[in-house]
Amino acid sequence: METVMPRLLLLSNSRNYGGGYMEHAEGWIRSFFEGTKRAVFVPYAGVTVTWDAYEANVAERFRSFGIEVVSVHHAKHPVREVAAAEAVLVGGGNTFHLLKHLYDTGLVWAIRERVMGGAPYMGWSAGSNVACPTIKTTNDMPVVEPARFDAMRLVPFQINPHYTDAVIPNHGGETRAQRLAEFTKSNPSIYVVGLREGSAVQVSNGDTTLLGPHSARIFFNDDEPVERTPGASMEFLWSART
């Protein structure tokens, strides 16, 4: 059976250090959303920022791309809003908070259905997490409890946004790589993409590609992690089994 490939732009982050909002991703966004006039935004990952303020920030930025943005938190029927969406944006913040509200509003499967039906999807940070089979590779604290950890399964692999190899001096805790090794040991048939700041995974026209200036670190089973260079094909990730 042929695999249905959605159109996805999955960013590690929305702002690079010293840069403006979505500045590093501007070219990708313009190309990915070429011809798109209106997008539905999901602000539920916002916790310390109001959803109105979050919407205003995203709307202002996407206006520069010629795209009108409206947030689902205004909709009387969010599922209907998503079902009619030309494109879907899911913002970053706290992944647990995001997934809880996606379940509470019925949007987990509504977004999946719309995106698998052809609408382009862009997520950043937590918004990239929920495109995966689960949110088990998020970096976030579980400030609320979602119905389950299962997410939208738009891709069969996991993403760890904001991936870093940094080791804090004189700190004895586990590194990010050690934490992700715990996941792959417990879930040996699923790839994890350690997505560094300023990077993205794009799925478009049947191709899966690593974007950005940095390599991505790939974790799988008990294998030694490997690096994939920018521009590299990531088609192998679709062989993951959830």
Per-residue pLDDT of the chain (242 residues; tens, 9 = 90+): 345 689 999 999 999 999 999 999 999 999 999 999 999 999 999 999 999 999 999 999 999 999 999 999 999 999 999 999 999 999 999 999 999 999 999 999 999 999 999 999 999 999 999 999 999 999 999 999 999 999 999 999 999 999 998 877 877 778 999 999 999 999 999 999 999 999 999 999 889 999 999 999 999 998 999 999 999 899 999 986 55
- Number of structural domains in the chain: 1
Output Rg (C-alpha) for the chain, integer angstroms: 17
Give catalytic status of residue 125 as yes or no.
yes
Confirm whether 42 is domain-assigned.
Answer: yes
Residue type, 201: V
Confirm whether 230 is domain-assigned.
Answer: no
Confirm whether 221 is domain-assigned.
Answer: no
Annotated catalytic residue within 12, 71, 125, 128: 125
Instruction: Note down the domain range covering 111.
Output: 8-158+196-213
Confirm whether 242 is domain-assigned.
Answer: no
Q: In three state form, how does the secondary structure of the chain look?
A: CCCCCCCEEEECCCCCCCCCCCHHHHHHHHHHCCCCCEEEEECCCCCCCCHHHHHHHHHHHHHCCCCEEEEHHHCCCHHHHHHCCCCEEECCCCHHHHHHHHHHHCHHHHHHHHHHCCCCEEEECHHHHCCCCECCCCCCCCCCCCCCCECCCCCCCEEEEEECCCCCCCCCCCCHHHHHHHHHHHCCCCCEEEEECCCEEEEECCEEEEECCCCEEEECCCCCCEEECCCCECHHHHHCCC
Confirm whether 177 is domain-assigned.
Answer: no
Confirm whether 26 is domain-assigned.
Answer: yes
Tokens of 106: 């019925």
Annotated catalytic residue within 12, 97, 140, 199: 140
Confirm whether 135 is domain-assigned.
Answer: yes
Annotated catalytic residue within 150, 162, 214, 215: 162
Give the CATH number of the domain where residue 60 resides: 3.40.50.880
Give catalytic status of residue 162 as yes or no.
yes
Give catalytic status of residue 140 as yes or no.
yes
Displacement of CA 128 from its chain's centroid (Å): 1
